[in-house]
Chains A and B, each alone.
Chain A
């Protein structure tokens, strides 16, 4: 007989009440259009995989990004923000441009260069509406802080 899961979900409160701070300032003025919801599409163009893991950690109940109206989407055509992980390898430059061309307007692009200065990788092509550039491997809380800044959402404080 199948045992139902919700009994586990109700027993513990996992979501944290914290203030999430972005490590960088936005590079251009933000629009208020994403105030209530922000859909993010992730594209990995050559990261060392730590960023993919951090995005998975961002989906954990501790951060519970849905409470802020932030969602990861499965298609660039539904996205408000393109989150670009890593610095591009040569072969990924064209797929990156193709992905950008699929974004509906208005949109923003955000880059995270996990290992700046690593040889063998290209610079970013010209990115439209490049609102933020992070370096290193930011924590999920820092990524969430940046997304909250873009969404212009008031942060929950502990």
Chain B
């Protein structure tokens, strides 16, 4: 399948940034009408900071603001909810409260400086941002990272997936007032962050990746213990997850909340667990460099429960994948490094990685070893459209289940 990740536009022309069977491709529009092929073309082209912003009036319709300072949504973002009685008729999402202009601030900086800024776009996706940016720059300046670097990047993205998915499930369990489940999942979430620190030196996997290489290789003496810990997380989580699937109080809150059909998800250009929960197999796992890609988990229902189930199964898969490959990582040290030829000072590059919430894409132009252009395409932007659509016709008590189940973040949506 083909997914439109973003649009790279200049005053002269417009190119479509597409993920085609796991391969990122940049194609010229050439007089065709891309709206007919990609339902999300106009969303990406307009790139509005107020999503689904259409006023609604009528007898009994009440509009209220939720955010940017509220305990329910801790990030700086704002919802305008149009309600009739308890029912939500429309949800407008304003992402501008968190707009920090990071892509613009990267311009004229060296690729190394811009890489540290990419990690700060949304720090819980720091590794995905870092790898997507560095792959794009490596393509632009013609650097080939070693096999060892590629493998470690793949593993570190999986460890990012584990803690992000645990966070989402923790939030869902909290919202459903499942205090015991939430407490145990949050303990695993903290455990996963500590494992990140043992593996990379940073709880959010920051400052380990660099252009063409890693800043440091995880210590091999700890690897066996860390692999065991990941298996313990998988075992404990499986036990909790199986138990949660027998708890009807929990399931009833998630079931039928924020349902999207496969057609709606494809129309919005969604990727990752949200699309897979609608029964669509995306090609994101094929973006993995070198190591064997993981099996794709899908569910059919497209609701908050299906999204939770996809994430839950991915946590277990990723833990086993990490444990297996960490144990094999000592063999990577024999891998011969490629001859490092001097990189080009100019070039254009693009890349997509499989972040915990979907496709993360970067398009970069480097000129004289300075960033001339950086376009960042994140899964949270189309995800916000999905949240807005998912909230319609529900009642306000369903709000946290819909919002949290999509795994979107304002920091990631508002670059």
Question: B69, A89: Cβ atoms under 8 Å?
Answer: no
**In the complex the two chains form, what is the Cα distance from A83 to B359 in whole Å?**
33
Question: A8, B243: Cβ atoms under 8 Å?
Answer: yes
- Report A-chain residues with C-beta under 8 Å of the C-beta of B178: 5
- Report A-chain residues with C-beta under 8 Å of the C-beta of B411: 47-49
Question: B246, A118: Cβ atoms under 8 Å?
Answer: no
Using known A-B contacts A60-B186, A137-B123, determine if residue A89 contacts B76 with beta carbons closer than 8 Å: yes
Main secondary structure on B side of the interface with A: helix
**In the complex the two chains form, what is the Cα distance from A57 to B196 in whole Å?**
14
Using known A-B contacts A8-B243, A46-B76, A92-B68, determine if residue A57 contacts B249 with beta carbons closer than 8 Å: no
Question: B75, A49: Cβ atoms under 8 Å?
Answer: yes
Q: Chain B's nearest CB lies how many Å from the CB of A52?
A: 5
- Which one, B104, B181, B204, contacts A50 given CB within 8 A? B204
Residues from 156 to 189 in B contacting A, C-beta threshold 8 Å = 167, 170-171, 178-181, 183-184, 186-187, 189
Interface string of A54-91 (1 = CB under 8 A from B): 11110111110000000011111000000000000101
Using known A-B contacts A42-B74, A46-B98, A61-B186, determine if residue A118 contacts B167 with beta carbons closer than 8 Å: no
**In the complex the two chains form, what is the Cα distance from A94 to B226 in whole Å?**
45
Interface string of B255-269 (1 = CB under 8 A from A): 000000000000000
Q: Is B96 an interface residue (CB 8 A)?
A: yes
Q: Is B55 an interface residue (CB 8 A)?
A: no
Question: A2, B247: Cβ atoms under 8 Å?
Answer: yes
**In the complex the two chains form, what is the Cα distance from A30 to B123 in whole Å?**
33
Using known A-B contacts A44-B74, A89-B98, determine if residue A60 contacts B187 with beta carbons closer than 8 Å: yes
**In the complex the two chains form, what is the Cα distance from A96 to B69 in whole Å?**
8
Q: Is B63 an interface residue (CB 8 A)?
A: no
Q: Is B248 an interface residue (CB 8 A)?
A: yes
Q: Is B311 an interface residue (CB 8 A)?
A: no
Where the two chains meet, the residues of A that have a C-beta atom closer than 8 Å to any C-beta of B are: 2-3, 5-6, 8-9, 14, 41-50, 52-57, 59-63, 72-76, 89, 91-92, 95-96, 98-99, 114-115, 118-121, 137, 139-140
